[in-house]
Chains A and B, each alone.
Chain A
Amino acid sequence: MYAFEYHRPSSLDEAVALLTSEDIKPLAGGQTLIPTLKQRLAMPEALVDLGRIEALKGIRKEGDAIVIGAGTTHAEVAASEVVRGAIPALARLAGLIGDPQVRNRGTIGGSIANADPAADYPAAVVGLGATIHTNTRTIAGDDYFQDLFTTALDENELITAVSFPIPQAAAYEKVANPASGYAVVGVMVAKTAGGVRVGVTGAGPCAFRATAIEDALARSFTPEAAKGVAMPADGMNSDIHASAAYRAALISVLASRAVAACGG
């Protein structure tokens, strides 16, 4: 780790005021940034620790949505009675992230801002049709993920909260990388008032909706319908743990299992 300045603001305004250059990085739960620093793969001038900003914390039900503060840890989401009552699939997803240490430090805002292609939360953002709230605006979940580690966020724009519309039913299924625990493929299937949504993480450069499966499920919300869709392997990620063809096949399989878990 190289030396850096460390700031710990207590308000969002103070944090935004400190983020004056691209060499000054916000620090959320640190589950990606700290290992990166330890390996000397990044050399920020300063870190702005968002961990003491009370406005970023908390989980609440607002109308037909669950709103989760950006600084809320995965463990808090997994254990939240509010989330478990309204969107149990989201609580389950949070409980499948990493290991207990990661879940006790990592935050939803940090995960979504980092946009790792194999992170779990992006499947929920896309699959549940979430809205990302930042210090300057709101961004629709469908527009948020753009490419590998690339999002709609501007430089040093901070996520403040994520709101998830409560679906009629939803389920998350995942095949985890046996080494890292990240999603080789993770699929969130949701039945919503606006139709069926299928959010996929791990398979491509960033999370996306499997529209072919959504269409099939709109016609027949059954596991067989999801399994019957052959996803193309083109453009899928390929590495030592999973080939593109394997990932493509898993999307249909996991979608069908999620449908079954939804009672479809």
Chain B
Amino acid sequence: MNAPAKTVGTSVKRTEDARFLTGRGRYTDDINRPNQLHAAFVRSPHAHAALGEIDKPSAMDVPGVVAVFTGADMAADGVGGLPCGWQVIGKSGVPMKEPAHPPLAVGRVRHVGDTVAVVLADSRHAARDGAEALMIDYDPQPAVVHLADAGAAGAPQVHDEVDGNVCYDWEIGDQAATDEAFGKAAHVTRLELVNNRLIPNAIEPRAAVGEYDPADGSYTLTTTSQNPHVIRLLMCAFVLNLPEHKVRVVAPDVGGGFGSKIFHYAEEAVVTWAAAKVGRPIKWTAERSESFMTDCHGRDHVTTAELALDADGTFLGLRVKTLANMGAYLSTFASSVPTYLYATLLAGQYRTPAIHAEVKALFTHTTPVDAYRGAGRPEATYVLEKLVEKAARELKMDPAELRRKNFIQPDQFPYQTPVALAYDTGHYEASLDRALELSEYSSFAERRAASEAKGKLRGVGFSCYIEACGIAPSAVAGALGARAGLYEAAEVRFNPTGSVTVFTGSHSHGQGHETTFAQIVADRLGVPMANVEIVHGDTNRIPFGMGTYGSRSLAVGGSAIARAIDKIIDKGKKIAAHMLEAGEGDIEYKDGVFSVAGTDKSLTMGEIAFQAYVPHNFPHDKLEPGLDESAFYDPGNFTYPAGTYICEVEVDPETGHVHVDRFTAVDDFGTIINPMIVEGQVQGGIAQGLGQALLEGAVYSDDGQLVTGSYMDYAMPRAQHIPDYRFDFTCTPCTHNPLGAKGCGEAGAIGSPPAIINAIIDALGPLGVDDIPMPATPLAVWQAIQDAKGGTARAAE
């Protein structure tokens, strides 16, 4: 029997798409239970108010309403607060402030949308009627919304116990060495920027179904999560004080997460707790306006940065000061995003010898901010790549050549940066050169002239990004304050007739794991892909795993599967040795066949699997039946995907409209399993990066109302905004995991915003514009042009 053709490296169509495209996906909102109640959450209309009396009868009187619960009810049951999973230690060893975050507010509401009460009713409409009828006595108080105001003396306090709203004041790098570098610099480039707040907008709103079975005291939570085991752990250990073996958390098909579905949200704990209180299943699905107000937002930094260079453009030092908005409460991983996922990336692809970064995280009366596609790394890339491009403009150097001059060279790996990370491998010049070629950079001047002839301004912008994926080695993460291990788990189970079921702790919510993981299993075990089933998302079926975020699923989750496969092959060798009456050391395995070296005696994987489950003549003192192995894989390091993005825009100077005319992406993701899926990930990532650069931005009024609370005002990228991309890949395989894979899920969102913004600044340069904010809306671009004209006029006076 011939082994099936190898699939790794080929664009196998996605197995899961058949069910998604035919409407057979099964999402949380598709789940209905007999006798279920519907939950409606009552949300604060105020950014900041003292919470007075909540008049339950006003809602209970509404027909169909069964129960109303408040924070006081949960507190009376000993329910705890939503925890933060990463403790950041600030300057002088001061730990971050972790104010209580009760699932239903107690005493005070701290952002518009803060969860005040839950109304349970026989129908969604009755629940909503009850929520609307619930009388709540609010005493509105002054709110602080913007980062620039949050740290000011006399600013309204978000939490009484957090002085000056400072969650932490943290630093990394060598300040003295950095100061010294600036002292001898021939040139210093300085930049101030805002990294705009984003609202995630997964197509599937969050939803949760809580169930309680009094027969055995067990709970089931079905929820829109990227990591069901993490939710079970946090909810059981910190919030509801339940034993994990009595709680099952299921994350079925999930319609996009982008980070926003990593976190443990109040609604999950409330429906689980309340299901036992009322003895009926409870279902909740967010309305879109709730998603805008309560899904954790992303980004929201204010930064000043300085780059010190010598006369020939060599980078000497980098100094960065950032204010990061935490929102009203610390979400699950909020503290790690602007620190260990941000400042550690500030070396970029460069040999900058001295770096010092300070990050002050502040509470405000806004929705909590946490990881969103890229999580910290887009913010770092935006700082660095905008700064480098500005330096090139100031020094009148080609931006590609200034970067090339400062790249870490291929023979310098492993490379220890001044900000904690040690890059294992890379070849930055290879990506840059390929991107220059693919983007036809050498003929840019001709295209610029052609645009000018049409009254348009053309610009080109670069971004040479790096990111740290595969989060993370548990020992490193633990030393930096993570309160969890960050391995991944897998179980590979042969069924007696030769098919394979794989249980993974990773969770697929758009990534295509059911295809990519099956490719790896099929190739390594010599079985057809059709005989491989990938199981994920159910704590009662899968081993304890950490889930999917940080572009980690292939590098960490896939590696766990590879390790389990190795164990299967080892076991198979033992069985083959017994069956073929050979020494174990003489058994060779290749492409699904075990053979005795130097003979024609062999057994296929299918035959081995069958024997494993029908062990009629196994020596049971030496050989166990069964072919079922599990592995936990803890990575040795982060992985470091990197690449070059080049963007060309055409700007209409009369309307301020920016058209992305071409976008070139050359990425090094290490070994690629399925190029089509990887390209899809990069396309989606760039679409989100383009959204941040040109369209998206959460706007709060000064009193804390979310102005961009619907699609009427929050602009998402649409098909018409997305250019035809030019893609290619370079490859330096990851040196420390069994797949050589680095991860590709976030690169597009990390690398693209500075390329786009740099291109716009390049386009507007002739008009005297030297900076543009994100999002670079038509108004922002037009206003920058007017301001530059005013500047010119003033200068001429």
Give the B-binding residues of A (Cβ under 8 A): 1, 39-40, 175, 177-180, 184, 240-243, 245-246, 249-250, 253
Within 8 Å by CB of B779, from A39, A40, A179, A246, lies A246
Judge whether B714 and A240 touch: CB under 8 Å: no
Is B163 at the interface (CB under 8 A from chain A)? no
How does the 8 Å CB contact mask read for B690-734 relative to A, with 1 for contact and 0 for none?
A: 000011000100000001100111111000000000000000000
- Once A40-B132, A178-B777, A253-B654 are accepted as A-B contacts, the answer to whether A246 and B782 lie under 8 Å apart by CB is yes
Q: List 10 A-B contacts (CB under 8 A).
A: A40-B132, A178-B777, A179-B714, A179-B716, A240-B707, A241-B779, A243-B783, A246-B782, A246-B783, A253-B654
Judge whether B777 and A241 touch: CB under 8 Å: yes
Residue of A nearest to B694 (CB): A178
- Return A189 CB to nearest CB of chain B, in Å: 16
> How far does the alpha carbon of A177 sit from the alpha carbon of B778 in the complex, in Å?
9
Residue of A nearest to B714 (CB): A179
> How far does the alpha carbon of A76 sit from the alpha carbon of B783 in the complex, in Å?
38
Within 8 Å by CB of A250, from B125, B655, B786, lies B655
**Contacts A179-B695, A253-B654 given; 12 further ones with Cβ under 8 A?**
A1-B125, A39-B289, A40-B128, A177-B715, A178-B695, A179-B711, A179-B712, A184-B778, A241-B713, A245-B786, A246-B656, A250-B655
Within 8 Å by CB of A179, from B289, B715, B786, lies B715
Interface residues on B, range: 20 to 34
> How far does the alpha carbon of A184 sit from the alpha carbon of B656 in the complex, in Å?
13
Judge whether A178 and B715 touch: CB under 8 Å: yes
- Return B774 CB to nearest CB of chain A, in Å: 14
Query: For A241, what are the chain B residues with a Cβ–Cβ distance below 8 Å?
Result: 713, 777, 779
Residue of A nearest to B713 (CB): A179
- Return A224 CB to nearest CB of chain B, in Å: 13
> How far does the alpha carbon of A178 sit from the alpha carbon of B717 in the complex, in Å?
9
> How far does the alpha carbon of A240 sit from the alpha carbon of B656 in the complex, in Å?
15
> How far does the alpha carbon of A246 sit from the alpha carbon of B708 in the complex, in Å?
20
- Return B734 CB to nearest CB of chain A, in Å: 39
Query: For B655, what are the chain A residues with a Cβ–Cβ distance below 8 Å?
Result: 175, 250, 253
How does the 8 Å CB contact mask read for B770-789 relative to A, with 1 for contact and 0 for none?
A: 00000001110011001000
Residue of A nearest to B129 (CB): A2
Judge whether A243 and B779 touch: CB under 8 Å: yes
Is B108 at the interface (CB under 8 A from chain A)? no
Query: For A177, what are the chain B residues with a Cβ–Cβ distance below 8 Å?
Result: 715
> How far does the alpha carbon of A6 sit from the alpha carbon of B782 in the complex, in Å?
47
Residue of B nearest to A178 (CB): B715
Is B6 at the interface (CB under 8 A from chain A)? no
- Once A180-B711, A240-B699 are accepted as A-B contacts, the answer to whether A175 and B657 lie under 8 Å apart by CB is yes
Query: For A179, what are the chain B residues with a Cβ–Cβ distance below 8 Å?
Result: 695, 708, 711-716
Query: For A40, what are the chain B residues with a Cβ–Cβ distance below 8 Å?
Result: 128, 132
Query: For B708, what are the chain A residues with a Cβ–Cβ distance below 8 Å?
Result: 179, 240
Query: For B132, what are the chain A residues with a Cβ–Cβ distance below 8 Å?
Result: 40
How does the 8 Å CB contact mask read for B501-527 relative to A, with 1 for contact and 0 for none?
A: 000000000000000000000000000
Query: For A175, what are the chain B residues with a Cβ–Cβ distance below 8 Å?
Result: 655, 657, 778
Interface residues of B in 618-663 (CB under 8 A from A): 654-657
How does the 8 Å CB contact mask read for B278-307 relative to A, with 1 for contact and 0 for none?
A: 000000000001000000000000000000
Residue of B nearest to A180 (CB): B712
Interface residues of B in 649-698 (CB under 8 A from A): 654-657, 694-695
> How far does the alpha carbon of A175 sit from the alpha carbon of B781 in the complex, in Å?
14
Query: For B783, what are the chain A residues with a Cβ–Cβ distance below 8 Å?
Result: 243, 246
Query: For B786, what are the chain A residues with a Cβ–Cβ distance below 8 Å?
Result: 245
Query: For B657, what are the chain A residues with a Cβ–Cβ distance below 8 Å?
Result: 175
Judge whether B779 and A242 touch: CB under 8 Å: yes
Judge whether B779 and A249 touch: CB under 8 Å: no
- Return A157 CB to nearest CB of chain B, in Å: 28
Query: For B694, what are the chain A residues with a Cβ–Cβ distance below 8 Å?
Result: 178
Residue of B nearest to A185 (CB): B655
Query: For B777, what are the chain A residues with a Cβ–Cβ distance below 8 Å?
Result: 178, 241
Query: For A240, what are the chain B residues with a Cβ–Cβ distance below 8 Å?
Result: 699, 707-708, 713
How does the 8 Å CB contact mask read for B121-145 relative to A, with 1 for contact and 0 for none?
A: 0000100100010000000000000
